[in-house]
Structure 1
Amino acid sequence: MNTTELGIYFYKVLHKTPEKSGEEYITRNIICSYLKRLPNIEIIFNNTEGIIAKLSKNSTNKFNFGFRVELDAVETADATLHHSCGHDAHMAALLAAITYISKNYKNYSDNLIFIFQSSEEFGNGAKKMVNILQQLNIVITNIFALHNAPEIEPYQIAVKSGPTLSNNVTIHFNVELSSSAHLGTTCNVTHITDIFQKINSFNSNEIRLEISKIVSDGSVSSKPTHIELILSIRSFNYDLKDLINIEKSIIYTIKDCECVKKVSVKYLSKHYQIKNSTILFNRLKQFSNAVFLTAPNSLSSDDFSEYHAISTNQLYYFVGNLYNDNYKHLHTKYYRINFNFFKTAISSIIFLAYNTKAR
């Protein structure tokens, strides 16, 4: 089968095994079992942080090209796991590209490294993987990551130079509520609504708040004593420390709500804005098998920026994955992969790997 067909095959296999961040055991086993069969590919790390594989003609720890994809799936609102963000497609595209590269080994003059990273959704997986790379004394000159974009056609690539995606703070909130019914302080609908209205008041054109996974101990016959929720605060223009200050303001505001006894928080992830390299941006634009679009300022986030600690240049780009207007909603059951995505994704990786020395 050709590389596109191989990518589709890997996708169908990986799509069946969605796993939580930090618990991608079956996924890692599938990937490692396959990589071990490829010529000229060596797995140099495999653990809960992810997998690192290399194609190298010497024993150096310096690599001219690196590529990162994500291992984890998404836990949706109904508490089920789905590959509804496309990480399975990203892994599949990289596996197909590695297959081609390994079999055409002599055509690649540079040392290449491939990273299958755990916990992109939750848990700051990139930070943990970067720590592993530093322990191994690995340095990467140019590192890339792609994501599918269900809003654009599969033959299109959206990319920009400079700031890309947003700074993001994701926090788990635990709000304890008053429950002394005889004192008349038991929470009611008005009190609960007030909490969410106060949180929503921090939304603006430049700051986006998203609430997910709301949990309460209330029932038909008893009122809640606590509410838990996950809150993401994102901005393209505000830096990370500004978002943390906003989170602190939200805590103070919630504490002032009637019936609130205590507010505690736990940080789930902190993502810095990605700074795309102009050198790598210009290099990708030489890829002739796609139509290029300018990626808009986005309130999405990704932990890929952590790789700046071990790499000189980073580039994050989007490959089109439009299925149709009914199936383009990431992180929902209404999401599908357009198999034409694989042709552009795989060939772009092969192109970048072959042209690792940015000129």
Structure 2
Amino acid sequence: MKNHRMNLHQIAEIGFQEFQTKAYLYEQVKNCGAVVHEVGETGLVLYFDNQKEKTIAFRTDIDALPILEETGLPFASKREGFMHACGHDGHMAMLLGLTDYIAKNREKMKYNIVLIYQPSEEIAGGAKSILDSGLLQHYQVQAIFGFHLWPTLEEGAVFSKSGPLMAQSSETDIQIFGKSAHIASSSEGIDSLEVAVRLMSEIYDYEKKLPEEMLHLLKFGEIHGGVIRNVLAQEVTIKGSIRSYSPLHQQEIKDSLRKIANRFEEEFQAKIEFIYNDGYPAVLNNSELFDKIKSISTLRVLEHPVLQAEDFGVYTEHFPCVFFFLGVGDVPALHNPKFDFNMDVLDNGLEFYKALLEIENY
């Protein structure tokens, strides 16, 4: 698995362009005894027909990020400007390890098994491409499992929880349209910059009053407007994110922002528009499925979900699923150009995958 990780790390490719990565993966799995399906140009789905009643699935993502690597590793990415800075190389290595284990131990398997080598987790559409292939439905998959390497959690330990694990993300742009005028004649214009500042203050006051049990994030990281110091800004754009674990909560926050904006439009005679990119749904672990696996001795239960998003949430909308974090300890954050991890944790991940195969009656 370590060799797989190092080899894959060097050929980092972004979503739906993982051609060399797919070729490498195909070369490793083509003789494993599974039926190998190609999904789109870069996805692979393997099916091990073990003549069992039920079928379970395991998924890895295979894409990298457009990041210039700064690790200095001897196996650093050979594709300048692209890097496996989110651990997907490790995820693939573990699933290749599982592929090999299943191929060599098919007589021990309690289930038919689907293995998903999914493109484009970082860019929307990867999980959807797998669902749209119809293969998971065709093979009547009963449960889907997946891993993500996770900094700050204890190295080598496996963590998860029932219910909400990762958030839905709505990337949010607020566009404020005023009327340009020289500041010496400001009464003739509509100051979109003033509206933006006051609106931001109002939104953050609203956010502070949301009930504590409504786990959420409502933050903005960019604001752009104006062209010169002595002219009122014609237009301002504020960019941020709304995150929660419930579509109802997402909509409640959006509705509240619209009501605030309506008041500002009336007061300042400005026009305010919202643009949302709703991204991935929340990762919601199936409670019944989680109860069946929580007896695995190496599984640790997280107290709280995280606010990061992952397209594994697309699967949780349609199938019983459980997603796990594999701790990598005190290392640079995900998406950091210096991200790296101790590859010994891959053995822990594979052992946990094997333990999942031993559970009865999914």
Smaller-chain TM-score bracket: 0.7 to 0.9
Mark the CA change 1:12 to 1:196 in structure 2 (over 3 Å): closer, same or farther.
Answer: farther
Question: Per the alignment, in what secondary structure is the counterpart of residue 107 of structure 2?
Answer: helix
Distance in 1 between the 2:113 and 2:172 partners? 38
TM-score relative to the length of structure 2: 0.76
Distance in 2 between the 1:316 and 1:265 partners? 30
1:75-111 Cα shifts (integer Å, max 9, x gaps): 579xx65433322221221112212322333333531
Give the one of 234, 242, 247 matched to 2:254: 247
Give the one of 285, 289, 301 matched to 2:295: 285
Question: Per the alignment, in what secondary structure is the counterpart of residue 155 of structure 1?
Answer: coil
Give the one of 292, 298, 311 matched to 2:305: 298
After alignment, is 198-207 or 47-56 more displaced? 198-207
Residues 317-332 of structure 1 correspond to what in structure 2 (within 5 A)? 317-322=324-329, 324=330, 327-332=331-336
Distance in 1 between the 2:129 and 2:15 partners? 12
Distance in 2 between the 1:19 and 1:227 partners? 35
Cross-structure match for 1:274 = 284
Amino acid in the other structure paired with 2:178: S
Question: Per the alignment, in what secondary structure is the counterpart of residue 303 of structure 1?
Answer: coil
Mark the CA change 1:274 to 1:34 in structure 2 (over 3 Å): closer, same or farther.
Answer: same
Cross-structure match for 2:216 = 207
8 Å CA contact 1:138, 1:310 repeated in 2: no
Amino acid in the other structure paired with 2:293: R
Residues 96-115 of structure 1 correspond to what in structure 2 (within 5 A)? 96-115=97-116
How big is the alpha-carbon RMSD for the aligned residues of Structure 1 and Structure 2? 3.7
Give the one of 45, 68, 72 matched to 2:63: 72
Cross-structure match for 1:181 = 181
Mark the CA change 1:346 to 1:225 in structure 2 (over 3 Å): closer, same or farther.
Answer: farther
Amino acid in the other structure paired with 2:57: G
* Deviation, structure 1 residue 328: 4.1
Give the one of 2, 9, 13 matched to 2:7: 13
1:7-42 Cα shifts (integer Å, max 9, x gaps): x22222333344444444443333223322x32133
After alignment, is 108-117 or 125-134 more displaced? 125-134
Unaligned runs of 5+ in 1: 1-5
Distance in 2 between the 1:262 and 1:12 partners? 49
1:52 aligns with 2:45: yes
Cross-structure match for 2:71 = none
Question: Per the alignment, in what secondary structure is the counterpart of residue 165 of structure 1?
Answer: strand
Cross-structure match for 1:165 = 165
Mark the CA change 1:338 to 1:20 in structure 2 (over 3 Å): closer, same or farther.
Answer: same
Distance in 2 between the 1:220 and 1:358 partners? 67
After alignment, is 199-208 or 151-160 more displaced? 199-208
1:319-347 Cα shifts (integer Å, max 9, x gaps): 1111x2xx342333353322222111122
Number of residue pairs matched?
Answer: 337
After alignment, is 177-186 or 81-90 more displaced? 177-186
Amino acid in the other structure paired with 2:130: M
Distance in 2 between the 1:229 and 1:52 partners? 41
Give the one of 28, 32, 35 matched to 1:34: 28
8 Å CA contact 2:225, 2:237 repeated in 1: no
1:263 aligns with 2:294: no
Mark the CA change 1:347 to 1:263 in structure 2 (over 3 Å): closer, same or farther.
Answer: same
Question: Per the alignment, in what secondary structure is the counterpart of residue 305 of structure 2?
Answer: coil
8 Å CA contact 1:199, 1:254 repeated in 2: no
Question: Per the alignment, in what secondary structure is the counterpart of residue 10 of structure 1?
Answer: helix
8 Å CA contact 2:50, 2:109 repeated in 1: no
Question: Per the alignment, in what secondary structure is the counterpart of residue 69 of structure 1?
Answer: strand
Cross-structure match for 1:232 = 241
Cross-structure match for 1:351 = 355
Mark the CA change 1:145 to 1:109 in structure 2 (over 3 Å): closer, same or farther.
Answer: same
Distance in 2 between the 1:268 and 1:87 partners? 23
Amino acid in the other structure paired with 2:353: I
Cross-structure match for 1:149 = 150
Mark the CA change 1:16 to 1:211 in structure 2 (over 3 Å): closer, same or farther.
Answer: farther
8 Å CA contact 1:284, 1:352 repeated in 2: no
Highest CA radius of gyration, 1 or 2?
A: 2
Distance in 2 between the 1:223 and 1:114 partners? 57
1:130-165 Cα shifts (integer Å, max 9, x gaps): 2323686231122211222212222322122x3132
* Deviation, structure 1 residue 224: 6.9
Mark the CA change 1:329 to 1:246 in structure 2 (over 3 Å): closer, same or farther.
Answer: same
Amino acid in the other structure paired with 1:295: L
Cross-structure match for 1:3 = none
8 Å CA contact 2:152, 2:327 repeated in 1: yes
Unaligned runs of 5+ in 2: 69-80
TM-score relative to the length of structure 1: 0.76
* Deviation, structure 1 residue 176: 4.9
8 Å CA contact 1:124, 1:270 repeated in 2: no
